[in-house]
Amino acid sequence: MTDPRAMTANDGNLPLRARVFVIGGAAETVPLCRGLLDDGATVALALETAPRSGGAIPGGISAAHLGQDDAALCAQMQAADADAVIDVTHPFSDVPARAWPLCRDMGLPYLRLRRPAWEPGPGDRWTTVADTAHAARLLPAGSRVLVTTGRGSLGGFSNLRGGHLFVRQLGPPRPVPDIRNATFRFETGPFSVAHERDVLRELGITAIVCNNSGGTTSRSKIDAARALGVPVFLRARPGLADGTGHCAPEVDRVTAACGWFQDQAGVS
């Protein structure tokens, strides 16, 4: 990947030098970049992870790896010479907790684009939990649990009463932590509802613990759970607030994010 600055021809509605720094990784990354380009913005893109859906990054945008520490991220934002920052990382990413304070310190307008959370429908057996430790306390003894909350959350299951964890990891096999009563499954999605039904039946799953990520890419497992009557424990999304209780500005639609940037760039 190359330097985060990327130049585009301006044939939209924005001022000639309107620049936006996009921190990407979620499925909405590419649609957001397309919308900003259509509006005439110059887009600099840094990726926490490569988006698993949404299509190819539009031509004219050079994508950089996101800086791994605050100094590197600050340098990327300075190099982009942007008018504002839009953060479209995964709904459970810890990047916003780094990026928003940096933007405040630099005087840069910041917006988080986070897709709507899932809402329960008829037939769903959902319980919202604060974290995996909360889920482990609620799970019946001897549960066989499909876990998709990421390896960083597995410590919360230390108080699980018996049972077995089936931990899904996306991508190729790699070293795994030594966790009692856990089996790691390496798979590459997205998965169909039929596939997920087969997995739940094959493993004898009696509960799912997952993040309330929203969107369509990873929803199939909870649709399969509904069909089979399997309860789902959904980890609530983390908030983003400063020490005074002020929350970071946030929208849940690409069109709203593009409109916000137009306002920041002075388009009436």
Other C-beta atoms within 10 Å of 254: how many?
Answer: 22
At 9, list the tokens.
């021809």
- pLDDT on residue 15: 55
Render 229-267 in DSSP notation, one character per residue: T--EEEEPPP--B-TTSPBPPEESSHHHHHHHHHHHTT-
pLDDT truncated to tens, each residue of the chain (268 aa)?
333 333 333 445 555 568 999 999 999 999 999 999 999 999 999 999 888 776 788 887 878 899 889 999 999 999 999 999 999 999 999 999 999 999 999 999 999 999 999 999 999 999 999 999 999 999 999 999 999 998 888 889 988 888 899 999 877 667 777 777 899 999 887 899 999 999 999 999 999 999 999 998 889 999 999 999 999 999 999 888 776 778 889 999 999 999 999 998 775 4
Other C-beta atoms within 10 Å of 146: how many?
Answer: 24
Q: Note every long-range contact of 135-144, with CB atoms under 8 Å and residues 24 or more positions apart, other chains counting.
A: 135/209, 135/233, 135/235, 136/160, 138/233, 139/163, 139/207, 139/209, 139/233, 140/206, 140/207, 143/206, 143/207, 144/203, 144/204, 144/205, 144/206, 144/207
Torsion of CA 223, 221, 25, 39, to 10 degrees: -20
Give the integer Cα–Cα distance in Å for 197 and 98.
38
Q: Which residue has the tokens 């319980």?
A: 127
Collect all residues with Cβ–Cβ distance below 8 Å to 39 and sequence separation of at least 6. Answer: 12, 13, 14, 258, 261, 262
Give the integer Cα–Cα distance in Å for 264 and 83.
7
At 8, list the tokens.
């585009």
Give the integer Cα–Cα distance in Å for 59 and 170.
28
For residue 225, with 0-12 CB atoms within 10 Å meaning exposed, 13-18 middle and 19 or more buried, which class applies?
buried
Domains along the sequence of the chain with CATH: 19-116+240-264 (3.40.50.280), 126-235 (3.40.50.720)
Task: Note whether 154 and 167 are within 8 A (CB).
Answer: yes
